[in-house]
Amino acid sequence: MNNCTLKTVTRAELNAAAADLLDHGGCMQVAYAWFPRPDAPELRYISTTPGQREFMSWRVDASKEPVASLAAKSPLLGWHEREIMEMSGIAFAGHPEPERLVSAFLPQTARGPLEPGGAVHASAAGSLAAPTLPQMSGKHVQLLPFGPVRADVVESAQFIFYYVGEGILHYHPNLFLKHRGMEKQFEGIDIERGVLLAERVSGVDTVAHALAYAQAVEDASGCIVPPRARWLRVIAAELERTYNHLHYLGHLCHTTTLKVGEAQGKLLEERAKQMNALASGSRLLRNIVWPGGVRRDLDVVAISQGVAPLQRELERYVDLIERTTSHLDRLISTAPLSQQLAFDQGATGPIERASGIDRDLRRDHPYAAYGELQPAVATRSEGDAYARMKVRIAELRASLGLLDDAITRGVPTGPLLEPCSRVPNAEGLGWAESSRGSVLYALHFDDRSRIARAKIKSPSFSNWRVFPFTVHDSNMMDYAINEASFGLTISGCAR
């Protein structure tokens, strides 16, 4: 394992270690539990420190009494710890919100779905309370449960608003009605075909999930990816960012009722998807990434013929957007997210960069061919809906530039794939910067070199955690604009 430094931390040292990490500018990324043996659950905390490409993984024995919650120190861990309690049955002491999260809409069972047969520890899953809503009184306070079936073609989720007139007092999203048990689904699958599941965790982040998964497999089995495949992976990843960001701009125009702007954004998205199909055989760029390399070559001629007109059209489109005061008026100062809140609650991708946190996995923890094809990273300091749009516009330009650059410099020659060898009981970590932020896969193999545990950290899980903080104390009229400015998916969050 080269992507991650492993360190054993005792439960007594855990608090001090977390404080030390934060003091040195480090950041928690994900926490999860797994079972090396059915009677020996283990917690993992994965973090990054500035200036270091490798991630850090702390290993904490969790077989006896509850482990102290770190949610007060690093609030973004709050959701991760809740998920560990309900899914793997490991209890945390002093958790501020000991309630079910991912399984909130499933019948409660004595043991969590990720606990192995033969587990002996006392499971926290069976006794974890159902999520509660705050008590509200006052005759003018209204309660609006919106969804899970909502207007338009959207993903299912239920949004609960407590509001007075236009003002939102409290907002609570129920995001896990479409929890599909993806992590459990990986158990027992062979290391190659697991990528097909990863592609289907969040359909519009197909490449990012497949890439993070494949890199975790490669990390575990010590597989070296040929240069040509690494180059093609960058091209596929930037094609994915391009169509997603174009969709984002069109959808944002939809929420400010800028109809022609919406049509144009979605037309450019369609052109990008048609280019994807010509280049790869799939509009959503499926069936490209494979552990050890890529499954197919990409038609770079189709891409360069698609990118050049997209660059021209984008400039015209952005110029119009930035001259439309009715659009900008709805974005500027809407739903600001402070840098502190973005960091504490774990905002990722364009959301954290729009709040002044200069972090991008492609640059700070290079993978694929990003060491040679370096992306320009855009940041803003305002943290409002306008800043979130501006960051995405800058990224869109950078992506198209990067595609142009990758094709002009020429795809290296050589094999597309170097099959990964089977390494029983290995573990690996992989990551990718999707259009929505950081995707992480932590994998553990079993003694037959199949997947024993797959932990997925998706960007929307992180950003949905942050989003409600920008809704409280805002108003109903801005809600849809604010939600669109985050560019979230529910499937990625619920998994």
Task: With contacts defined by CB under 8 A, name the span among 16-24, 124-132, 321-329, 436-444 that binds other proteins.
Answer: 321-329
263 near other proteins (CB under 8 A): yes
In 10 A of CB 72, how many CB atoms?
14
Picking from 292, 334, 378, the residue whose alpha carbon sits closest to that of residue 484 is 334
Task: With contacts defined by CB under 8 A, name the span among 150-158, 221-229, 352-360, 376-384 that binds other proteins.
Answer: 150-158
Site string for other proteins, 346-375 (x = CB under 8 A): ------------------------------
475 near other proteins (CB under 8 A): no
444 near other proteins (CB under 8 A): no
123 near other proteins (CB under 8 A): no
Alpha carbon distance, N-terminus to C-terminus of the chain: 26
Distance, in Å, from the CA atom of 116 to the CA atom of 266, rounded to the nearest integer, reads: 45
Question: Are the C-beta atoms of residues 3 and 429 closer than 8 Å to each other?
Answer: yes
Number of residues that bind other proteins (CB under 8 A): 67
Q: In whole angstroms, how close is the CB of 101 to other proteins at the nearest point?
A: 13
Picking from 320, 326, 352, the residue whose alpha carbon sits closest to that of residue 339 is 352
Identify residue 241 by its one-letter amino acid code: R
Distance, in Å, from the CA atom of 53 to the CA atom of 361, rounded to the nearest integer, reads: 9
422 near other proteins (CB under 8 A): no
Distance, in Å, from the CA atom of 268 to the CA atom of 251, rounded to the nearest integer, reads: 12
Of residues 109 and 338, the one with the C-beta less far from other proteins: 109
Question: Are the C-beta atoms of residues 471 and 168 closer than 8 Å to each other?
Answer: yes
**For residue 44, what are the β-bridge partners?**
32, 59
Among 61, 155, 364, 382, binds other proteins (CB under 8 A): 155
**135-140: long-range contacts, CB 8 A cutoff, minimum separation 24:** 136/162, 136/169, 136/170, 138/164, 140/164, 140/165
Of residues 8 and 257, the one with the C-beta less far from other proteins: 257
**For residue 443, what are the β-bridge partners?**
428, 454
Among 40, 68, 177, 398, binds other proteins (CB under 8 A): 177
417 near other proteins (CB under 8 A): no
Residues 178-237 that bind other proteins (CB under 8 A): 178-182, 184-185, 189, 193, 196-197, 200-204, 206
111 near other proteins (CB under 8 A): no
Q: In whole angstroms, how close is the CB of 257 to other proteins at the nearest point?
A: 11
Question: Are the C-beta atoms of residues 433 and 215 closer than 8 Å to each other?
Answer: no
Among 284, 328, 341, 377, binds other proteins (CB under 8 A): 284
Task: With contacts defined by CB under 8 A, name the span among 14-22, 66-74, 272-280, 363-371 that binds other proteins.
Answer: 272-280
Among 287, 311, 339, 374, binds other proteins (CB under 8 A): 287
3-state secondary structure of 303: helix
Task: With contacts defined by CB under 8 A, name the span among 216-224, 260-268, 367-375, 466-474 that binds other proteins.
Answer: 260-268
Q: In whole angstroms, how close is the CB of 494 to other proteins at the nearest point?
A: 8
- Look up residue 9 and give its two tokens: 């931390």
Distance, in Å, from the CA atom of 87 to the CA atom of 103, rounded to the nearest integer, reads: 8
Rounded alpha-carbon distances, angstroms, from residue 50 to 14, 55, 214, 312: 20, 10, 24, 37
**E-strand spans in 139-219?**
142-146, 158-164, 167-174
Of residues 49 and 158, the one with the C-beta less far from other proteins: 158
Distance, in Å, from the CA atom of 51 to the CA atom of 364, rounded to the nearest integer, reads: 7
Among 274, 304, 339, 475, binds other proteins (CB under 8 A): 274
- In the complex, the residues that contact other proteins under the rule CB under 8 A are 105-107, 113, 148-149, 151-156, 176-182, 184-185, 189, 193, 196-197, 200-204, 206, 247, 250, 258-261, 263-264, 266-267, 269-270, 273-274, 277-284, 286-287, 295, 299, 302, 316, 320, 323-324, 326, 489-492
